[in-house]
A and B are shown apart, each in its own frame.
Chain A
């Protein structure tokens, strides 16, 4: 069935190490969104893409975070020099169209990043 695939499910990094997370959107979906869940149910928007173009990056901490969506590859979110406060669950979602009524978005299961 249709599924947004996020890998890995769990990632442990020492403080200062790099972390790279992947999100494979559903085939045919042009829009990809990344969210960070830090506190129990607090979701922070990071970045969205329309195909390989950044659509909205207002939530990205630019110093250490970067993201890409390249053709024929999973999208990626990379954190250079991780800090303890980066520990969170990172979710991505994809949809075929922008926010038109009835346009369904699908959420990935998330990647739990633990920085120790």
Chain B
């Protein structure tokens, strides 16, 4: 069993739709990261959370430490949001990565 589970694995949305990607984890963590990976491989760090909620532009990330769950929301989705979104948790001096959610936003 993976320490980090993401859902859905694949997501297709129409431009403008509200999108939610979920992440559940089973280990004790000090922080949770949401990463974005475009074709070609480069990783962009979107958020680091240890509690509560963060917002950056159209992106919102929340975490519930008691439930060991985090969500990444994208409001008013756009084709340029198409990418793989990866949830990664830091537990001690290790990172555990989810298998990613592949998002395609259709114009």
Contacts and interface: CB of A to CB of B under 8 A. Distances in A.
B96 to A, nearest CB: 8
Interface string B82-107: 00101010111111011110000000
**Interface class of chain B by DSSP:** strand
Q: Contact size class for B?
A: 20 to 34
B95 A109 contact: no
Contact of A45 (B41, B42, B94, B99): B94
Given A41-B99, A56-B93, A93-B95, A105 B48 contact: yes
Interface in A74-116: 89, 91, 93, 98-110, 112
Interface string B15-59: 000000000000000110101000011111100101000000000
A67 B47 CA distance: 28
Contacts, number: 70
B93 A104 contact: no
Interface in A33-90: 33, 35, 37, 40-43, 45, 48, 55-56, 89
Contacts of A112: 40-41
A31 B93 contact: yes
Given A35-B95, A45-B95, 8 more contacts: A9-B42, A33-B95, A40-B84, A40-B99, A89-B41, A101-B30, A102-B50, A103-B30
Interface of A: 9, 31, 33, 35, 37, 40-43, 45, 48, 55-56, 89, 91, 93, 98-110, 112
